[in-house]
Amino acid sequence: MEEKKIKILKYMFLYVSLILISIIWIIPIITLIMTAVKSKQDFFSGISLFEFPENIEWSNFTNAFTKGRLLTYMKNDLIISALKVPLGILVEALAAFALTRLNIKHKTGIFIFFLIGMMLPMQTALVPINIIYSKLNLINTYFGLFYVYIGFGISFGILILRGFFKEIPKDIDEAAYIDGCNKLRLFWNIILPIAKPAVATLVISDFLATWNEYLLASVIINDNALKTVPAGIMTFVGEHGTDYGYLCAGVLISVIPVLVVYLIFQRYFVEGMSGAVKS
Amino acid sequence: MKAKRLSEASWKNYLFLLPAGIIYLSVIVVPVLYSFFISLFKWNGVGEMEFVKLDNYINLFSNDKVFITALKNNLLWVILTIVVTMTIALAFAVVLNKKFRGRTFFRGVFYFPCVIAPIAVAIIWRWIYNPNIGFINEFLELIGANFRQSWLSNPKVSIFAVFAASVWQSIGQPMILFLAGLQSVPVEVLEAARIDGASGPKKFLFVTVPLMKETFVIVIATLIISSMKVYDVVAGLTDGGPNNATQMLSTYMYSQTFQYSNVGTGTAVACVMVLMMLVVIVPYIIFTAKED
- Whether the predicted pLDDT of B289 surpasses 70: no
Alpha carbon separation from B217 to A114, A218, B98, B185, B210 (Å, rounded): 20, 33, 23, 16, 11
Phi, psi of B51 (to 5 degrees): -70, 120
| Half-sphere CA count of B242, side-chain side, radius 13 A | 11
To 5 degrees, how large is the angle CA B52–CA B58–CA B62? 140
Residue ranges matching CATH 1.10.3720.10 in chain B: 76-246
**Sequence-separated (6 or more) residues with CB below 8 Å from residue B187:** none
Please tell me the predicted confidence (pLDDT) of residue B68: 95
- Contact B21/A at CB under 8 A: yes
The CATH architecture annotation of domain A70-278 reads Orthogonal Bundle (1.10)
Weakest-pLDDT range from A17-21, A275-279, B72-76, B127-131: A275-279
- Contact B272/A at CB under 8 A: no
Q: Per 3-state DSSP, what percentage of chain A is helix, strand, and coil (rounded to 5)?
A: 80, 0, 20
Cβ of A18 and B95 within 8 Å?
yes
Tell me the three state secondary structure of residue A146: helix
The CATH number given to B76-246 is: 1.10.3720.10
Distance CA B203, CA B194 (A): 7
Indicate the pLDDT class of residue A257, thresholds 50, 70 and 90.
confident
List all residues of chain B from 45 to 84 with a beta carbon under 8 Å from chain A. Answer: none
CA A50 to chain B, closest CA, distance in angstroms equals 9
Cβ of A35 and B127 within 8 Å?
yes
Please tell me the predicted confidence (pLDDT) of residue A247: 86
Tell me the three state secondary structure of residue A55: coil
List all residues of chain B from 121 to 180 with a beta carbon under 8 Å from chain A. Answer: 123-125, 127-128, 130, 133, 135, 138, 142, 168, 173, 176-177, 179-180
Phi, psi of A206 (to 5 degrees): -65, -45
Amino acid letter, residue B215? T
Distance CA B221, CA B281 (A): 8
- Contact B248/A at CB under 8 A: no
| Half-sphere CA count of A239, side-chain side, radius 13 A | 13
Distance CA B133, CA B175 (A): 33
- Contact A174/B at CB under 8 A: yes
* CB A264 within 8 Å of CB A246: no
Tell me the three state secondary structure of residue A241: strand
Q: Classify residue A51 as exposed, middle or buried by CB count within 10 Å of its CB (0-12, 13-18, 19+).
A: exposed
Tell me the three state secondary structure of residue B102: coil
- Whether the predicted pLDDT of B25 surpasses 90: yes
Indicate the pLDDT class of residue B203, thresholds 50, 70 and 90.
confident
Alpha carbon separation from B21 to A108, A140, A232 (Å, rounded): 15, 25, 32
The β-bridge partners of A45 are none
Amino acid letter, residue B69? T
- Contact A264/B at CB under 8 A: no
- Whether the predicted pLDDT of A45 surpasses 70: no
Share of chain B above pLDDT 70, in %: 96
pLDDT in tens, B78-120: 999 999 999 999 999 999 988 888 888 888 889 889 889 999 9
- Contact A44/B at CB under 8 A: no
pLDDT in tens, A132-186: 999 999 999 999 999 999 999 999 999 889 988 988 888 888 888 888 888 888 8
The β-bridge partners of B51 are B41
- Rounded mean pLDDT, B221-228: 90
Indicate the pLDDT class of residue B1, thresholds 50, 70 and 90.
very low
Please tell me the predicted confidence (pLDDT) of residue B2: 47
Indicate the pLDDT class of residue A90, thresholds 50, 70 and 90.
very high
* CB B256 within 8 Å of CB A125: no
List all residues of chain A from 87 to 116 with a beta carbon under 8 Å from chain B. Answer: 90-92, 94-95, 97-99, 102-105, 108, 110-112, 114-116
* CB A259 within 8 Å of CB B112: yes
Q: Among candidates B43, B70, B66, which has minimal Cα distance to B264?
A: B43
Using left for φ > 0, alpha for ψ between -120 and 50, and beta otherwise, residue A38 falls in beta
What number is the ipTM of this complex?
Answer: 0.87
Q: Among candidates A4, A85, A124, A216, which has minimal Cα distance to B232?
A: A216
* CB A262 within 8 Å of CB A207: no
Indicate the average pLDDT of chain A.
85
- Whether the predicted pLDDT of B16 surpasses 90: yes
- Rounded mean pLDDT, A208-225: 91
- Whether the predicted pLDDT of B222 surpasses 70: yes
- Whether the predicted pLDDT of B3 surpasses 60: no
* CB B221 within 8 Å of CB B198: no
Size (chain A), residues: 279
Q: Classify residue A213 as exposed, middle or buried by CB count within 10 Å of its CB (0-12, 13-18, 19+).
A: buried
